[in-house]
Amino acid sequence: MSSGSTLSIRWTRAASTAGSSLVPVWRSDRCRTRVGTGEAGYTSYGGGRVDRDLRRPLPRCTGGRRSAQAAPGGAADDRGAGCARPLAAPLRLAQGLRHRRLRRRHLRSRLHPRRPRVRPLAQGLARSLAVRDADALAASCRLSVSGLGRQTRDPSSVLAHLAERVSERTPSDRYGGGELVERLERRVAELLGKNAALFFPTGTMAQQIALRIWADRARLSTVAFHARCHLERHEHKGYEELHGLRGLLLGAPDRLLTLDDLEAIAEPVAALLLELPQRELGGRLPEWDELVAQTEWARRRDVALHLDGARLWLCPPYYGRGLDEIAALFDTVYVSLYKDLGAPGGCLLAGPADVIDEARVWRIRHGGRVFSVWPYVLAAERGLDEVLPRMVEYFGRARELAAGLAALDDLDVVPDPPQTPFLHLYLRRNGEKLREAALDIAEERGVWLGERFAVTPLPAVHMLELPIGASTLELPVAEIVALFGELLERSA
């Protein structure tokens, strides 16, 4: 209702064939509506109808014309001109009341604002995220102590390296087919000693499909793996939701599987998944004799063996054996193309030819037959040519660095000594203070130490994952140790 209009309610007697009754009349200087009972339960004035319980107005505007409709009893309704809008006034009144209530609430909130309860740690995190972009800061650093460095993550560097490997005659691919992709698949299958290999966009897809195939062949739905397996921790139980598989968790979360853990299995299983090395445990590896004993246990029980070899490329230096000898213990093997090799993404599943043919169909069902994957393939070939031959060198640097870092107070290296060019650092510091100190060092020194300090079961201890690669070799071990000493000092 507009300002300046007035509203009043009066009761009047309306005549009808059944007699007279009192009905309310909503009167306004601009609009009025009379509600009563008439034929079929409605009485209409000014060209509108209103339900008898006043809950469903059916408005009709007469454009400001004088209402000349007959009132009950035949008398003309000539009580003033205006726009006949049924219940317009009471509806506007209700809206006005609600508006006033909201306005009073708003004024109270301004006079007595309630401050949100935010912990100081959360405030510091929000402030640091707003002020400093960790990704941009990492890209601006001249050196990094971990991994392969910026060349595998910066788009301009990746494209520049790919441009060096292509020519006008470089073949493309179509839906994962063509000489370029098949060449990579043949190469990896040969490295692993398998009959065939198939490209997949993600390891999540490849491993679920491999387990599904073995489960179908065994006519069992149970698959066994370690309690901290990637399928259990990072895939939202995709194996269960998509394929109806049931995961049997083995061993304890803080140690490797043992033969005793396998002997304790009291039910038939379709497949056993082992991870080499185990990322969640700092890149740990079982001893060779223990690994052979576990695979022999599965063979004796006709249990299919699948290897989560996302970082299998790191294993040969510790075992002193080739990739093919390690992979020979397993029926199917998954390897990543971006972990340690530096491709933008992608992976391969290797195994018997009939299994790979079946996996090819499942890849379509999963929506994994990407139209074109040549950037992944070219980058993976570069990793196989330039990175894989240096794994022994990376392994040696990992052991040198671990020895220096282990001498620092409030820092533990896991495992010590490292079994692969991959380790975990446990620092007895507050996680937010560690992150802020690491960002400060990146700004001042131009060296990236990392900023993802993961929580652990101990509130005062945080973990930093440290893969060793070409970038690590660009800094002397003593300088890296000194930087971590400074990190601990700043975050104390």
- Rounded CA separation 349/337 (Å): 11
Mark whether 70 and 203 lie in a shared domain.
no
- Residue 342 located in a structural domain: yes
- Residue 397 located in a structural domain: yes
- Rounded CA separation 227/233 (Å): 8
| pLDDT given for residue 113 in this prediction | 58
> Of 290, 289, 280, whose CA–CA distance to 257 is shortest?
290
Q: By the 8 A CB rule, do 415 and 423 touch?
A: yes
| pLDDT given for residue 291 in this prediction | 98
Q: What does each of the 492 residues of the chain score in pLDDT, given as a tens digit?
A: 444 444 444 444 444 444 444 444 444 444 444 444 444 444 444 444 444 444 444 444 444 444 444 444 444 444 444 444 555 565 566 667 777 777 776 666 666 555 555 454 554 544 444 467 888 898 889 899 998 776 667 888 888 888 988 887 888 889 988 999 999 999 999 999 999 999 999 999 999 999 999 999 999 999 999 999 999 999 999 999 999 999 999 999 999 999 999 999 999 999 999 999 999 999 999 999 999 999 999 999 999 999 999 999 999 999 999 999 999 999 999 999 999 999 999 999 999 999 999 999 999 999 999 999 999 999 999 999 999 999 999 999 999 999 999 999 999 999 999 999 999 999 999 999 999 999 999 999 999 999 999 999 999 999 999 999 999 999 999 999 999 999 999 999
Mark whether 191 and 333 lie in a shared domain.
yes
| pLDDT given for residue 118 in this prediction | 46
Pairing status of strand 143-144 against strand 196-200: unpaired
Mark whether 316 and 357 lie in a shared domain.
yes
- Rounded CA separation 399/154 (Å): 28
* Strand partners for 272: 224, 305
| pLDDT given for residue 47 in this prediction | 42
Mark whether 179 and 146 lie in a shared domain.
no
Q: How many domains does the chain have?
A: 3
CATH number for 427: 3.90.1150.10
Which structural domain range is residue 16 located in? 7-108
CATH number for 250: 3.40.640.10
- Residue 42 located in a structural domain: yes
Going by C-beta distance under 8 Å and a sequence separation of 6 or more, which residues neighbour residue 334? 203, 206, 207, 210, 306, 307, 308, 309, 310, 347, 348, 349, 350
pTM: 0.73
| pLDDT given for residue 162 in this prediction | 87
| pLDDT given for residue 62 in this prediction | 46
| pLDDT given for residue 2 in this prediction | 47
- Rounded CA separation 334/351 (Å): 9
- Residue 344 located in a structural domain: yes
In Å, what is the CA distance from 89 to each residue of 36, 44, 63, 131, 226? 16, 16, 16, 53, 71
